[in-house]
Structure 1
Amino acid sequence: MIVRKKLYRLAIALGCLVSVAAFAEEIGSVDTAFVFLGANHKIVIEAFDDPKVPGVSCHLSRAKTGGVKGTFGIAEDTSDASIACRQTGIITLPQEIQSKKSDGERVFRESTSLLFKHMQVVRFYDVKRNTLIYLTYSDKLIDGSPKNSISTVQITNSIFEK
């Protein structure tokens, strides 16, 4: 019983640390299901700017579990998410992105469970079409998730670093 309490406290502390690491700005949310005790289940809309590509902003919508566990941040959110990215200014495309091959680069990561599960956004650059591609997906330490969504940004007004 004592070990269980210590693990529970450790898990809450880790959850607090992980939530601080996220850099998305919550824009709003809608309730999707009423929960008698604790917060309702909802869909949250968050915004973030690509940290390495000035001039690109993304909006991510994702499910957030409510109830008592959700209120205390220990519930596991579902893997449902959608993303939309747009050019919001002059794009400055760093050389490292121009030369990067097909493996992509993570630009956003947020915990969606107490341990091991994260919602991630990875950026790819399609040289031939001069387009940035943003992929969102959920991972889990043991099982990958096939649920994903993409958004593309056609670069029309840009500065290419040399």
Structure 2
Amino acid sequence: MKSLSLIPLLLASLLGLAAGARAETVGDVDTAFKLIGPDHKIVVEAYDDPKVNGVTCYVSRAKTGGVSGALGLAEDKSEASIACRQVGPISFKEPLPKREEVYSERLSIMFKRLRVVRMVDAKRNALVYLTYSDLLVDGSPKNAITAVAVDRGTVIPVK
């Protein structure tokens, strides 16, 4: 009986963690009409790299509609696309690890996440961003990649 009372608390904490990882929605387009609930759509979201001033990444992904989508119970597709661009002067808040997850958002009520990882290509003075989705046990090989070249006069500080 006690374990059943913990389920709402567990769900609320999972949803609360995901809410902190939200990006700014730039826009969306409908891809399929749903009679009940919101339509299926492709959403474009922007987020600023938290450790690199002047770089914004745009991620497009499918968002499931219908009743399950409206209730937050739907599992969104694994496909995503990413484009990161220099939107101002590039500067670094602190030295960067060679590889670091910079963004994560849930795609289903349990265990499926969309992730964006930044990698430093020191030889070419570039920041490489990879997006993919994973599950607790088995992820998807579907991924997308983009890179932002940093001016040779600005050395990327690496940990």
TM-score tier after normalising by the smaller chain length: 0.7 to 0.9
SS of the residue aligned with 1:90?
strand
Name 1:39's counterpart in structure 2: 38
Q: 1:112 to 1:11 in 2, by over 3 A?
A: farther
Native 8 Å contact 1:91 1:158 kept in 2: no
Please report the TM-score for the alignment, with normalisation by the length of structure 2. Answer: 0.87
Alpha-carbon distance, 1:19 to partner: 3.6
Q: 1:146 aligns with which of 126, 131, 141?
A: 141
Within a 5 Å distance, the mapping from 1:70-109 to structure 2 comes to 70-93=69-92, 96-97=95-96, 100-101=97-98, 104-109=99-104
Q: 1:110 aligns with which of 105, 108, 133?
A: 105
Q: 1:161 to 1:131 in 2, by over 3 A?
A: closer
SS of the residue aligned with 1:88?
strand
SS of the residue aligned with 2:68?
helix
Please report the TM-score for the alignment, with normalisation by the length of structure 1. Answer: 0.86
Q: Does 1:137 align with 2:136?
A: no
Let me know the Cα RMSD of the aligned residues.
Answer: 2.2
The runs of 5 or more residues in structure 2 that have no matched partner are: none
Alpha-carbon distance, 1:18 to partner: 3.2
Native 8 Å contact 1:14 1:114 kept in 2: no
Alpha-carbon distance, 1:23 to partner: 3.3
Give, in whole Å, the separation in 1 of the partners of 2:50 and 2:136: 26
Give, in whole Å, the separation in 1 of the partners of 2:153 and 2:55: 11
Name 2:122's counterpart in structure 1: 127
Q: 1:79 to 1:5 in 2, by over 3 A?
A: farther
Alpha-carbon distance, 1:161 to partner: 7.6
Give, in whole Å, the separation in 2 of the partners of 1:111 and 1:37: 23
Give, in whole Å, the separation in 1 of the partners of 2:153 and 2:37: 47
The runs of 5 or more residues in structure 1 that have no matched partner are: none
Deviations 1:56-92 (A, max 9, x none): 0010000001111100111111101000000111111
Name 1:26's counterpart in structure 2: 25
How many residues are aligned here?
155
